[in-house]
Amino acid sequence: MFDGFELTRREGDGARLRVRHGGAGPPVLLLHGHPRTHVTWHRVAPLLVAAGHTVVCPDLRGYGESEKPPTDERHRPYSKRAMAADCVAVMRRLGHERFAVVGHDRGAYVATRLALDHPRSVVALSVLDAVPIGEALRRCDAEFAARWWHWFFLGQTAKPAERVINADPDAWYKGSAEGMGAEAFEDYRRAIHDPATVHAMCEDYRAGLGVDREHDDADHERGRRIGCPVQVLWATRDDLADLYGDVPGVWRPWVDGPLEGGPVESGHHMAEEAPGPLAEALLSFWRRA
């Protein structure tokens, strides 16, 4: 995997991250989702490098082999604001002041927060299988709660989810070497079998229901918007379109600049299932942006 890439540890803004980077050209930051690590991008990153980009893939704070800071009563160390600050710090340490950002799943919330909090750093934003956290929770209904119940199970603390997950992580997460590739599967499996990582991933969801929503709602009330071009992609075999219908329409109140989007023929983990079409969609967007 990642032939020609360098694997390093870099200081973020309060957490040291495991980072894979390589290539030459305009920089791109790729942010994974739950419960993956940066290795989820192993089929996409080489395609972007071959097309003339520098690619940086970190494990988000708490995930994979990145540092897992102690939490607090409001779960602020696992807020998307904290994770986004890590990413900006890492990119600057690698010499990249301005860059495109791609985020999938939980990484999409980090990417969105990065574009809102650090607008001078982000030249283009691509979000995969996500709408803003505040938007999702404002629109939450019985259908959302039934389909995305894990948000509330992982996010509550009265009966912590860690005990259930750690009893059998393989059964809970259901990844496979056939779908992910053997090396990627082993990296993922090391992560999900680490109780500290499982706890940190739950903290991500706890922050999502509290402080992250507060940050999104505050921006929404102030009319704070994303100024760079935004691309929204969703998997045809996932449920984002079922839940929201006009997915780009959900994003429109959050975006001042150009906004475009469309489906990718794939299941939820499109970087693993449809790397070619995903890479082409990203490259086409960046050429226009």
Query: What are the b/e assignments for 28-50, b being 16+ CB within 10 Å?
Result: bbbbbbbbbbbbbbbbbbbbbbe
Strands 16-23 and 6-11: antiparallel
Backbone phi, then psi, for 157, in 5-degree steps? -125, -10
105 is catalytic: yes
Phi first, then psi: give them for residue 224, nearest 5 degrees.
Answer: -75, 130
- Residue 9, beta-bridge partner list: 18
Of 34, 118, 220, 268, which residue is the catalytic one? 268
- What strand order describes the sheet that includes 16-23? 6-11, 16-23, 54-58, 27-31, 99-104, 122-128, 230-235, 259-264
199 is catalytic: no
Whether the Cβ atoms of residue 247 and residue 234 lie closer than 8 Å to each other: yes
Marked catalytic residue, from 86, 105, 212, 216: 105
Rounded Cα distance between 148 and 141, Å, is 10
- Let me know if 189 is exposed, middle or buried by CB neighbors in 10 A (0-12, 13-18, 19+): middle
Point out the residues that are catalytic: 105, 268
